[in-house]
Chains A and B, each alone.
Chain A
């Protein structure tokens, strides 16, 4: 190690004494190596961020390009860097040093330099392999074969201990005090170990629970600053909180720096770093895309309170999470895009150009035309890709007389595997309107081969069908701008009374909350249970399947996770 450092110090010194007017690539690299070491020593490059870049002689470099600098980093920081960072660094380190990775004999045979040069290369090779072993242990643990998991749901301890992070938990002893019910105005810190987060759980005077998070946004890309994202997150939570949980209610609060400093020092939750990314990114609990809106942001923030995913993962090639219990009762954790607008009041404006179909209908006194025009579509009623996966459209047929309803149940097969929906549409105007209808057919089919998963998919199909049919009967108003109008503003609060209003070519669609909270009882139970491992046992068990493949989970254990067990029955002796 000392010898290696000496070599590049000597190289650097030589460069400093006689700088060449035009540097060769090797000289540039040597200069960059010295620059990296200097900047690391001066603290300009962070050892915590192994992918830090810097510029030397007009070219950009990463620390990981420098074997010797990397050695120092690895020795000093191996136990402190995060798993993800270590994995990325190891990968880059291997690529940068791929010339040293062949088998020993081939490596020796290939060296055509002098003996001392070959000896030197062999030493370097030994050092590279040593570094790889060190890094590999950081990524995979001492066993060396643990599968690298990018996100752990409901794990009791992280795979890789981050000393700096965990040492701050020393004042938190996991004993019975964590299981005592909080009294009004009491608070305690709770860890969300699987997500590397911590929150302060507080009970208010009125008995409502609050979970306080300390989020530290860090900009990496995209069109949103850290301040903008903080404001967006707070705005979303302000709108969502009144509808978050069943009585007595649950509030989620993101603290600012001033708020943190006002808390007693033993109640300050540790900061959770959230990286802001560009739109080419699917948000998760540690990284937000700049186009993430309220449903996504609230969902991701709730992960930091120990809640896990319940939606169907479709990208099974990347994430084989087929063991996940996919719930059918909408919640912010199972279907955020549908649950959020149904729980939180929405107000949408749509612009209707003069004399357009929209303008004609909304300016008229024809109540049937308006009803058909403003009815919720089957696509809004269905969950996610239900329509694309199972349904085919019929052809539009003109009706001779105006319909009485905008949408109706059609026929259903005896085996429940198929049902139809009659949908109507309106056109024409300004005074005479004409109507069309079509019959769409939805049929269960699956590409699954595992019998358990087939049965579960069919159960979800039937649950979705029942949900659609209930909404058809209820005839809710659409929350989207109807055909012929252009979307204007969208707000997650009511502007006026529920229903539709039309003024000056602007159609305003107000939808009140449908009354279902964003979370089910066991979600709230899990947040409140915090570090007390004897509470929220059903939720803990069922959520633990969230990021496992069907081949790696215990079928008998999984079979215990009915939707009621997962979401409503605490498993601690009484239903919540």
Chain B
């Protein structure tokens, strides 16, 4: 078969890359006129840290933001393997563009303006990329894992309270007043400085 040897070398390169992988970051990113929405998974050796600066990408309603550690049962090696295949392809393309065109992977096809996209180790992968489905699949697997909050906030919609946590313990509760929220129409976006943005819908009005 044509190119079997080349393909073997290609796969070997990926395996070599995976063995040397130490940390990897996958971010889902969305740009809005007034803010950005970010969810980030950082794979560090044997654990995965989840930084949730928005609930926008959640699969179900979940009014919390913060930093979490994923359940130790998560198959980190498999996650690394799948992302590693995508990343290696991108790196080859990026190197080729840098060497031959003075350009880069991110430059030749930036995500459509204002669309949400993934960032894998700094490389942007938009909806129009053939790599998007593979990365999206991994992201959704990571999202579905059990997580333990290290620090952050949780909006108790029923009680109308925002509870703040640090080192896994509740340290503060404040009344949710929507004073940090934008827009008169729902869903509204509520920004918490240095923590992130919550999409809240539906809630009572201001004041």
Contacts and interface: CB of A to CB of B under 8 A. Distances in A.
A binds B: yes
Interface of A: 26, 51, 62, 64-65, 84, 87-88, 90-92, 94-96, 98-99, 101-102, 107, 110-113, 117, 120-121, 136, 139-140, 144-145, 147-148, 150-151, 277, 280-284, 287, 293, 311, 313-315, 317-319, 337, 341, 348, 350, 377, 379-380, 384-385, 387-388, 393, 425, 478-487, 490
A503 B1 CA distance: 80
B34 A111 contact: no
Interface in B46-77: 56-57
Contacts of A283: 114
B16 interface: no
Given A96-B130, A117-B3, A384 B34 contact: yes
User: Which of under 10, 10 to 19, 20 to 34, or 35 or more describes the interface residues of B?
Assistant: 35 or more
A379 B188 CA distance: 13
B140 interface: no
B3 A121 contact: yes
A102 B206 contact: no
Contact of A95 (B1, B129, B181): B129
Contact of A281 (B116, B178, B179): B116
Interface in B175-207: 177-186, 191, 193, 202, 204-207
Given A94-B96, A284-B114, A287-B115, 10 more contacts: A99-B7, A139-B109, A315-B32, A315-B36, A317-B36, A337-B182, A379-B206, A483-B177, A486-B202, A490-B184
A101 B113 contact: no
A112 B4 contact: yes
Task: Identify whether the interface residues of B are mostly helix, strand, loop, or mixed.
Answer: loop
A136 B101 contact: yes
A350 B186 CA distance: 13
Interface in B8-63: 8-10, 29-36, 56-57
Nearest to A91: B109
Contacts of B191: 385, 388
Contacts of A284: 113-114
A486 B204 contact: yes
B21 to A, nearest CB: 18
A487 B184 CA distance: 10
B109 A150 contact: no
A385 B182 contact: yes
Contacts of A91: 93, 105, 108-109, 128-129
B89 interface: yes
Given A280-B30, A318-B31, A101 B182 contact: no
Contacts of A117: 2-3
B130 A120 contact: no
B96 A101 contact: yes
B5 A112 contact: yes
A139 B109 CA distance: 9
B109 A90 contact: yes
Contact of A277 (B109, B115, B182, B186): B115
B93 A98 contact: yes
B2 A121 contact: yes
A377 B207 contact: yes
10 contacts: A84-B112, A95-B130, A99-B3, A112-B6, A280-B30, A311-B33, A315-B31, A384-B182, A425-B207, A481-B206
B110 interface: yes
Quick one: which of A145, A282, A341 has the most chain B CB within 10 A?
Answer: A282
Contacts of B193: 388
B103 interface: yes
B92 interface: yes
B152 to A, nearest CB: 18
B161 interface: no
A283 B193 CA distance: 25
A250 B177 CA distance: 40
Q: Which 7 A-B pairs give the minimum distances between C-beta atoms?
A: A282-B114, A112-B5, A481-B205, A91-B109, A87-B109, A315-B31, A101-B96
B112 to A, nearest CB: 7
Interface string B83-121: 000000110110111000111010111101111100000
B131 interface: yes
A508 to B, nearest CB: 14
Given A95-B131, A379-B179, A481-B204, A121 B33 contact: no
A107 B129 CA distance: 26
B205 A487 contact: yes
